[in-house]
Amino acid sequence: MTDAPHLIEVRNLVKRFPIRGGLFSRSVKAVHAVSDVSFHIARGETLSLVGESGCGKSTVGKCLAQLIPLTEGRITLEGKNIAGLGRAEMQPVRKRMNVVFQDPFSSLNPRMTVEELIAEPLRSHRMARTRTERRTRVGDLLEKVGLPRETMVRMPHQFSGGQRQRICIARALASEPDIIICDEAVSALDVSVQAQIINLLMDLQKDLGLALLFISHDLAVVEHMSDRIAVMYLGRIMEIADRDAIFRHPRHPYTKALLSAVPLPDPSAKRDRVVLTGDVPSPIDPPSGCFFRTRCPMATDRCASDVPALRDMGGGQMSACHFAEEV
């Protein structure tokens, strides 16, 4: 590892949502949405966060963008802490980081024109002061995402889902950010449109040197896009490694099970399926030791007592399993 700070570095991120109840709304319990998550993203790199529904991947994204406050941990942008900053101090950070949300239908205000929507970050970061200046920028951004300039006068309901997601991307690009958090940005789209949006994102990334935090549950998309992949389960990172390492030689039983659940295009192909039994435990009352042990085919007594730390398996591949060598 080099000494220069990474673009984004997350250290021991914890997010608990208190459950209030009883007299005077005391917090009686808490949902452990994210526990002890650490990762970093380099400039121009795509890190994907994968995992099943409810594993806390979107919560990580929201904590990163400071849309919800984190409970514990540190997030640094080029070495400077950004966790828990006040509104005014957060403003320059917001300029360098923006979010594309899952649902392009509800993440654009239906009462605003495309021009107003894309100009919103320009306004709030005081980037283009006059109306003509803003209009030129909005037009450029629209062209950048493959929409005609003229569409800026329209309303969001006049666009299809894919076009709306392009508008969302143009909006996220408006403040010239260094990193864009794509929170399931293509999950709500048709497969053919997904491909277009993904290619658009990859082109933009190449042109602008953007870093992407790509949150998804679609392994095919993730394999296509990512430089590195972090696999999450119940709020913890199980394994984090380069894309090829994850797909060729996973070092965690959960990663293995996930990969074996990807449908193959060839119906006659045979393979060893790792079929998990049982349900994901409740994040209100997670299991002791390794969170995955209740469903892990390799679990032993040790897994119930010791929390496995992320260990380097060589080549930057980190796995949080006591028996990573045997996987």
State the nearest-atom distance from the C-beta of 6 to another protein, in Å.
Answer: 21
Regarding 124 and contact with another protein (CB under 8 A), the answer is: yes
Residue type present at position 186: V
CA–CA gap between residue 327 and residue 255 (Å, rounded): 10
46 CB-side CA count, 13 A: 21
Rounded to 5°, angle at Cα 220 from 266 and 250: 95
Does position 301 interact with another protein (CB under 8 A)? The reply is no
Query: For another protein, which is the closer residue by CB, 92 or 287?
Result: 92
Q: Is 135 in the site for another protein (CB under 8 A)?
A: yes
State which residue, 164 or 252, has the beta carbon closest to another protein.
164
Single residue of 3, 22, 24, 150 touching another protein by CB under 8 A: 150
Query: Which is nearest to 252 in space by CA: 324, 304, 179?
Result: 324
Q: Please select the residue that binds another protein; options are 38, 71, 175, 260, rule is CB under 8 A.
A: 175
Of these, 19, 28, 153, 309, which contacts another protein (CB under 8 A)? 153
- Between CA 10 and CA 20, with CA 16 as vertex, the angle to 5 degrees is 160
Helices (runs of H) and strands (runs of E) counted in the chain: 10, 12
Query: Two tokens at 31?
Result: 């949902």
Residue 48 Cβ, how far from another protein at the closest point, in Å? 20
Q: Please tell me whether residue 164 binds another protein under the rule CB under 8 A.
A: no
The one among 65, 276, 290, 296 contacting another protein by CB under 8 A? 65
Q: Which is nearer to another protein, 9 or 184 (CB)?
A: 184
- The residue among 121 and 253 lying less far from another protein, judged by its C-beta, is 121
- How many angstroms separate the CA atoms of 53 and 31, rounded? 15
**How far is Cα 222 from Cα 217, in angstroms, rounded to an integer?**
8
- Residue 107 vs 194, nearer CB to another protein: 107
| Non-local CB neighbours of 310 within 8 Å, separated by 6+ positions | 38, 237, 240, 318, 319, 320
Q: Which residues bind another protein (CB under 8 A)?
A: 65, 67, 87, 91, 94-95, 98-99, 101, 103, 106-109, 111-113, 116, 120-121, 123-125, 130, 132-133, 135-137, 139-140, 143-144, 146, 149-155, 158, 168, 171, 174-176, 207-208
